[in-house]
Amino acid sequence: SPQSKSETIEKAPKTEMKSETVKKTPQKITNEELPNVSIIATGGTIAGVAASDTQTTGYKAGEVAIETLLDAVPEVKEIANITGTQLVNIDSSAMTNEILLKLAKEVNKQLASDSVDGIVITHGTDTIEETAYFLNLVVKSEKPVVLVGAMRPSTAISADGPLNLYNAVAIAASPDSKGHGVMIELNEKIGSARDTTKLNTTAVNSFDSFEYGDIGNVQGSKPYFYNKPSRIHTSESKFDISNVTELPKVEILYGHGNDSRILVDAAVKGGAKGIIHAGTGNGSVFPETQEGLVDAQKKGVVIVRASRVATGMVTHEVTDDTNKFVTSDSLNPAKARILLMLALLETSDPVKIQSYFDNY
């Protein structure tokens, strides 16, 4: 079960693992001249430990604490004053709505302070895109928030965590990064929270925003930006979780041939307030499942037609108006679930909810 440990590190620990270049280049700039970056650690493979340095699967994610992550990359102290908080230490497949709310409140609290210029969140890659999109919708600040993970555990040969973490700090420390919404950094790429997704189960270059493009990249301690997300995010977003203690239950159902309504009925019985249907093609639904969804909608459950296909939008059809269904635009089912949970805090009117899907 997720550990809930909260602590603040005033100074990053000294480490033995320094490169020669770092040793020979004493810092000339005083700490007061450096931006202040807060790192919030939540676990993941970036904090994962394997039995040997050649083991890159079957390891335990969310094992080492933030101090150890920083030990591996002491160079971050040359580009920012670092403070650290260990929020939880979990494999991100175990992410809960409770932790999402706790994290969002912590981020908003820290960003409200003049002593924080940007935030880096270390996170497992399995659900990093959902957490990033959630924060993109509820963070009330223009300051940079960067989520970072790794595909190889911290103990692996050529672990990708240290450079990813260094690059994430470089992004969070730069004034150029303001106003881009929440970002995801892996593999020197800067992706938007809305459009970046995991594309490969194990490869280091797993993350991409393949349909709409990355927003930038980071090279030599500096972010370079080329695109700005045009959908509503952060300060402009209407979603406010400051007084929210629980998110509505939303289930995702995966469409397929020879489907049935069994899982739709189970979701309704289980108390779902919303259902994301990851349909075939352009969000198509198997006939019996469709009947189940129409019945669920009549009971007040909000139905969103999304797609199990990796790219493209689900178009809104006249039949959706008749059925009172919402369509997901170009959000994948996992991200559609995040938006629907927040939308349901406001309303259960499908027309209103459709307008959120069209704009966020």
Ligand X SMILES: NC(=O)C[C@H](N)C(=O)O
**Is residue 91 close enough to count as binding ligand X by CB under 6 A?**
yes
The residue behind tokens 């993970």 is: 149
**Is residue 187 close enough to count as binding ligand X by CB under 6 A?**
no
Distances (CA, A) of 276 to 152, 164, 252, 267: 31, 32, 5, 11
Question: Applying CB under 6 A, which of residues 89, 92, 174, 177 lies at the interface with ligand X?
Answer: 92
Stretch of residues binding ligand X (CB under 6 A), selected from 85-93, 258-266, 278-286, 292-300: 85-93
**Is residue 125 close enough to count as binding ligand X by CB under 6 A?**
yes
Within 259-278, the residues that bind ligand X by CB under 6 A are: none
- Number of neighbours of residue 284 by Cβ within 10 angstroms: 14
Helix (H, G, I), strand (E, B) or coil at 308: coil
d(CA 156, CA 316): 46
Contact 59, 48 (CB under 8 A): yes
Question: Applying CB under 6 A, which of residues 74, 118, 149, 181 lies at the interface with ligand X?
Answer: 149
State the number of binding residues for ligand X (CB under 6 A).
Answer: 11
85 is an active site residue: no
Contact 341, 247 (CB under 8 A): yes
The DSSP element (H or E) to which 167 belongs, if any, is: helix 161-173
Among 83, 85, 122, 125, the active-site one is 125
Burial label, 322 (beta-carbon count in 10 A; 0-12, 13-18, 19+): exposed
The DSSP element (H or E) to which 185 belongs, if any, is: strand 183-186
**Is residue 124 close enough to count as binding ligand X by CB under 6 A?**
yes
Residue with Cβ nearer ligand X (58 or 287)? 58
**Is residue 61 close enough to count as binding ligand X by CB under 6 A?**
yes
45 is an active site residue: yes
Q: What is the pattern of x (binds ligand X, CB under 6 A) and - over residues 26-45? A: ------------------xx
Stretch of residues binding ligand X (CB under 6 A), selected from 4-12, 123-131, 137-145, 241-249: 123-131
Q: Mention every residue, 6+ apart, whose C-beta is less than 8 A from residue 264.
A: 253, 275, 289, 292, 293, 295, 296
**Is residue 200 close enough to count as binding ligand X by CB under 6 A?**
no
**Is residue 84 close enough to count as binding ligand X by CB under 6 A?**
no
Residue with Cβ nearer ligand X (45 or 332)? 45
The residue behind tokens 């998110």 is: 247
CB of 136 to ligand X, least distance (A): 19
- Number of neighbours of residue 20 by Cβ within 10 angstroms: 7
Among 45, 83, 122, 127, the active-site one is 45
Question: Applying CB under 6 A, which of residues 71, 126, 214, 329 lies at the interface with ligand X?
Answer: 126
CB of 170 to ligand X, least distance (A): 21
Interacting residue ranges for ligand X, rule: CB under 6 A: 44-45, 61, 91-93, 124-126, 149, 151
The residues annotated with a catalytic role in the active site are: 45, 125
